[in-house]
Amino acid sequence: MSAPVLEVRNLSVHYRIARAGGGQALLRAVEDVSFSVRRGQTLGIVGESGSGKSSIARALLRLVPAAGGTAQFRGADLLALEGAALQQARRHVQMIFQDPLASLDPRMTVEDIIAEPLRVFARELNTAQRRSAVLAMMERVGLAAEHLTRFPHEFSGGQAQRIGIARALILKPDLVVCDEPLSALDVSIKSQISNLLKDLQRELGLTLLFISHDLAAVRFSCDDVLVLYLGRVMELAPRDVLFATPRHPYTRALLDAVPVPDPAAARARRAALLRGELPSPLAPPSGCVFRTRCPVAEPRCAALSPEARRIGDTEVACHLAAG
């Protein structure tokens, strides 16, 4: 069992929202989330809108402040670092963004974009050395040398994402947070990029945090899966265990909702649909936040918030999950 690269405990992210009609409200985007990622492994964070998965990514990258919790990384709490120490830590945690074209500066060439992390952290390199590092990385992600002088808008979504990946990996970071890296891509390109990420992970020994709402993609790319709903952890399990024996009703509902490209199977499967709407994150339900849509909710679910329990390899937060 490899050592954890990242160990997150009780992470919370809150936003202050201005209320219509004066005053402020507290939006608990992420509430008390804990997980760890082992070296060389990929942890998938799955959830729908309002689940807080993007906020987790942003809090870890220190783009938004965390309201509480710790994130042990390279011997220090990533969430507590400031100034020079934080700057140094950035070298080892990088991010791949959802919208590849939006995450690339439209006025910079491909070379400048990919070389930027080197300019910040590897100032000792001269222009020629930088260029050869950039070219090497480009080759690895499947871009041609002639792309060096082009601009982002000249590329398709898939190629732009490759540029983003090259930029994120050029410093060989310890941890790469992938925030919905496939969502903006065409179907035939998603699989190309999934393969690429997997290959690169193996080649470079990367540790990945893979955030997505696409369960099927997560299944291919991840070793462990964390399921979030309204900012809270519902279930955390190794991939095969989660997909074969989901313990939480929400996980089961998610799996049932994934469309299956097979008419016979789709017709045969008439699973119970999740009723109702996502509650407002400003006023989450008492007790278990999922209870308002849960097909098997009981009175005690409203009274008491379920603690995470261990059942086999799974950690699940549900009063009714049986061993």
Partner 1 sequence: MSERGLWQDAWRRLKRNRAAMAGGVLLLVILLAALLLPFVSPYTYYSPDWDHLVQPPRFRGWHFLGTDALGRDLLVRTMWGCRISLLVGIAASLVTVVIGVLWGTTAGYVGGRLDALMMRTVDVLYSVPFIPFVIVLTVLFGRELLLIFVAIGAVSWLDIARIVRGQTLTLKNREFVEAARVAGVGTPAMILRHLVPNLIGIVIIYSTLTIPSVILFEAFLSFLGLGVQSPMTSLGSLVAEGAGRMQSYPHLLLVPAVFLAAIIYAFNYLGDGLRDALDPRDR
Partner 2 sequence: MAVPARPALLEVRDLAIEYRTPDGVVRAVRGVDLDVREREFVGIVGESGSGKSQLLLALLGLTSPGAVVSGSIRYGSEELVGAPAAVLNRIRGNRISMVFQDPMTALNPYLAIGTQLTEVLRLHRGFTRAAALARAAELLDAVQITEARRRLRQYPHELSGGMRQRVMIAMALACEPQILLADEPTTALDVTVQAQILELLRELRGRTGTAVVLVTHDLGIVAELADRIAVMYAGRIVEEAPVDTLFAASLHPYTDALKRSIPRIDLALPERMASIPGNPPNPARLPTGCAFAPRCGHRIERCTSELPPLREIAPAHRKACCRDDLPAGPGAPA
Amino acid at 30: V
Partner interacting with residue 120 (select from partner 2, partner 1, none; CB below 5-8 Å by kind): partner 1
Kindly indicate which of the ranges 45-53, 114-122, 235-243, 263-271 contains the residues binding partner 1, using the contact rule CB under 8 A.
Answer: 114-122
Q: Does 149 engage in binding with partner 1 (CB under 8 A)?
A: yes
Between residues 96 and 274, which has the closer beta carbon with respect to partner 2?
274
**Binding at 70: pick from partner 2, partner 1, none (beta carbon under 5-8 Å per type):** none
123 binds partner 1 (CB under 8 A): no
Burial letters for 224-234: b for 16+ Cβ neighbours within 10 Å, e otherwise? bbbbbbbbbbb
Distance CA 98, CA 272 (A): 31
310 forms beta bridges with: 315
How would you list the strands of the sheet with 232-238, edge to edge? 93-96, 175-179, 207-212, 42-46, 224-229, 232-238, 314-316, 309-311
Residues 19-78 that bind partner 2 (CB under 8 A): 48-49
Which partner from the list partner 1, partner 2, none does 91 bind, CB cut-off 5 to 8 Å by kind? partner 1
Q: How far is the CB of 95 from partner 1 (least distance, A)?
A: 5
Closest CA to 149 of 108, 106, 116, 118: 108
Q: What span, in angstroms and rounded, lies between the C-alpha atoms of 231 and 54? A: 10
**Cα-flanking dihedrals φ and ψ of residue 242, to 5°?**
-60, -45
Q: Is residue 181 part of the contact set for partner 1 (CB under 8 A)?
A: no
Beta bridge partners of 15: 27
Residue 122 or 278: the one with the smaller Cβ distance to partner 1 is: 122
Query: Does residue 95 touch partner 1 according to CB under 8 A?
Result: yes
Whole-angstrom Cα distance, residue 150 to residue 232?
43
Residues 151-180 touching partner 1, rule: CB under 8 A, are: 151, 153-154, 164, 167
In 3D, which of 156, 154, 134, 130 has the Cα closest to residue 145? 134
Decide whether 50 or 173 has the Cβ nearer to partner 2.
50
Minimum CB separation from partner 2 for residue 86, in Å?
A: 34
Q: 3-class DSSP state for residue 242?
A: helix
Nearer to partner 2, 49 or 149 (CB): 49
Out of 8, 13, 110, 217, name the contact with partner 2 by CB under 8 A: 217
Query: Which residue blocks in 110-225 are alpha helix, DSSP H?
Result: 110-121, 127-141, 157-169, 187-204, 215-221
CB 52 within 8 Å of CB 15 = no
- Interface with partner 2, residue 261, by CB under 8 A: yes
Candidate residues 135, 189, 204, 302; the one interacting with partner 2 per rule CB under 8 A: 189
128 binds partner 2 (CB under 8 A): no
Q: Which residues bind partner 1 (CB under 8 A)?
A: 61, 63, 87, 90-91, 93-95, 97-99, 102-108, 116-117, 120-121, 146, 149-151, 153-154, 164, 167
Q: Which residues bind partner 2 (CB under 8 A)?
A: 48-49, 156-159, 186-192, 194-195, 198, 213-217, 219-220, 243, 253-267, 273-275, 277-278
